[in-house]
Structure 1
Amino acid sequence: MSVPLEKQMWGDMFGMCAGRFGIPWMMDSIPPQS
C-alpha cells in the first residue's frame, strides 16, 4: 500500500495501493451526510 486507508484532513477516508499487475488503485469513502 502506498498510502494507508485513513481519515484525511478533508474528512474522507482515502488510501492508495497497486494491484497484483501493477495497476494503481485509489479509494475515497465519503462519510454519510445527515
Structure 2
Amino acid sequence: STSTSTAKACPAGAATVTRRAGHRRWHSSV
C-alpha cells in the first residue's frame, strides 16, 4: 500500500491518514 509506505517515511503523513480514517468512521457511525 502506498499509504503505508508514505506513513513510514513521514510520521506527519501517517497522522493525517489516520485522522482522515477516524473522521470517516465518525461520519459513518452518525
Please indicate, yes or no, whether the TM-score normalized by the shorter chain is above 0.5. Answer: no
More strand by share: 1
Please report the TM-score for the alignment, with normalisation by the length of structure 1: 0.18
More helix by share: 2
Please report the TM-score for the alignment, with normalisation by the length of structure 2: 0.17
Q: Which has the larger radius of gyration?
A: 1
